[in-house]
Amino acid sequence: MKVVDLFAGCGGLSLGFIKDGYTIEKAVEFDPSIANTYKKNHPEIEVIVDDIKNIDNSGVFKSGDADVIIGGPPCQGFSMAGARIRQGFIDDPRNYLFKHYFNVVKEVKPKAFVMENVKGLLTMQGGKIFEEIKNTFTNADLLDGQPYYLYSRVVKAVEYGIPQKRERLFIIGTTKKDVEFDKIWEKTKEEIKKEIPTYFDEVTIFDAIGNMPEVTKDGKITNPKPQSEYEKYLASSSEVIENHTQSRHSIAAIERMKQVKNGENYTVLDEEIKSVHSGSYGRLCWDDQASTITTRFDTPAGGRFIHPVENRTLTPREAARIQSFPDDFVFYGDKRSISRQIGNAVPPKVSFFLARLIRGILAED
């Protein structure tokens, strides 16, 4: 089946669909540095580096281009103010990313789409935003007579064999009516378990990064032998893996890290730390999961991202492991760009499950 990935980022959502045998026809990413990582890991895929508003109006997409559209329009701009103007929610300028996503779905007419977002979308402005999104996709008049039937679920990464307490909302739309969504969801789990018995097993930080050697200046390390089932699942056959380089920390930051034990954070420090994050200067525990890997995993003040035993934050490779990226996936760009690529990605283990779920939905009679 053919897929178009909108708001593709470095390709976390694409990876799961590729692993399940889908063909990504096109990927859209606005940031050239992030798009470069996608291109270099998937040279066979056409990556369009442009603002989605230009793409929406350019005739790039046509009916039948894809069976499935995937991607999550960032929700920072979502507003209900437009609901008070004549045209309504979809024409509020602040909702333009959602509008262009919707327009591409309308143009391509896929059999299904997957839209990812923060779980807070469910309660944003008293749930009205979520209701408007549902109303827009289920309105036959807005979609040339072909509405979508919507299903949604908050997915906890830790329940999909990922060592991270990340939660994300996935909205799935399909042209098929009366889908037994919960039944297919459970059936998909059983199917994957038959193929990969340990897929949904709980994974700890040690299971994910326990075999990683010391960091190197260029981030290249001899491929370590996988020890856990999770490391085996992500393992690469290449001799070298990349991106295992640490952030440069100030002497003051290192001194602070030395005082923080496993499971502790800035509250044990005898000074006032100016940080908006409650987990600031938090140290990870080998036998636990990480909190959500964000775009600031390389900064001690950014959250609970200090290595369990070393006085440094996670390397990009370690953060990628915790996000369930395979070891042969290489991130390109400067430090800030790579942190954004990893922190904003959908964990590939979640996207593989979703790919299999969509296959199950579309196969139902």
Active site residues: 75
Compute the chain's Rg from CA coordinates. 21
By C-alpha distance, which of 226, 186, 206, 196 is closest to 16? 196
Evaluate whether 105 touches 28 at the Cβ level (below 8 Å): no
70 alpha-carbon distance from chain centroid: 11
> Residue 352 has which token pair?
């593989």
> Residue 325 has which token pair?
């990226």
5 beta partners: 27, 70
Contacts from 24-32 at CB under 8 Å and sequence distance 24+?
25/65, 25/66, 26/60, 26/61, 26/65, 26/66, 28/4, 28/52, 28/55, 28/71, 31/337, 31/340
CA angle 102–189–360, rounded 5-degree value = 50
Q: In what order do the strands lie in the sheet with 149-156?
A: 46-48, 23-28, 2-5, 68-70, 112-118, 167-174, 149-156
47 beta partners: 27
By C-alpha distance, which of 315, 321, 277, 322 is closest to 298? 315
State the Cα–Cα distance between residues 4 and 71, nearest whole angstrom: 9
Query: In 3-state terms, what secondary structure has residue 351?
Result: helix
Evaluate whether 24 touches 6 at the Cβ level (below 8 Å): no
Residues 6+ apart with CB under 8 A from 10: 34, 37, 38, 41, 331, 341, 342, 345
